[in-house]
Amino acid sequence: MPALTVHAAGEWSRHRFDDAPDAVADELVSFVRPWIDGDPADAVLERSLHRWKFATPTTILPTPLVLVSTAPPVVCCGDAFAGPKVEGAASSGMAAARWLLRESG
């Protein structure tokens, strides 16, 4: 069964954060209408809305991770390190994994 994931921009999401979930979902479906075969009322069988209040970092750190502790090993990583997109989060997570593997090794 086909699926479609819709991500809204930060400004749009902040503006509608407290709006009724069904109203927000309806508007998001209307934005992707060209990619839905048929009438969305019939074609969309299920939908789910999830909101992340603190989804976008306000400060981006130039390092891929921050070491918190070596015993036990604790590192912070994610999209606040190396860029606020999935690519930055993935790159940061990989850097943290490499560090942890070197330390445990």
Q: Does 22 reside within a domain? A: yes
Percent of the chain with pLDDT over 90: 58
Q: Which pair of tokens denotes residue 93?
A: 């997570």
Do residues 80 and 45 both lie within one domain?
no
Q: What is d(CA 64, CA 67) in angstroms, rounded to the nearest whole number?
A: 10
**Could you read off the pLDDT of 54-103 as tens digits, one per residue?**
777 888 898 999 999 988 989 999 989 877 788 888 999 999 999 999 98
Q: Which whole-number Å values give the CA distances from 12 to 24, 45, 104, in the listed order?
A: 10, 25, 43
Give me the helices (H) in 8-85, please. 10-16, 21-31, 40-43
Q: Does 61 reside within a domain? A: no
Do residues 3 and 44 both lie within one domain?
yes
Q: What is d(CA 12, CA 39) in angstroms, rounded to the nearest whole number?
A: 25
Domain count for the chain: 2
Percent of the chain with pLDDT over 70: 100
Q: Does 60 reside within a domain? A: no
Across the chain, mean pLDDT equals: 90
Do residues 3 and 51 both lie within one domain?
yes
Read off the pLDDT of each residue in 9-35 and give the average, rounded to a whole number: 94
Do residues 49 and 82 both lie within one domain?
no
Range of the domain at 10: 1-55
Q: Is the pTM of this model over 0.85?
A: no
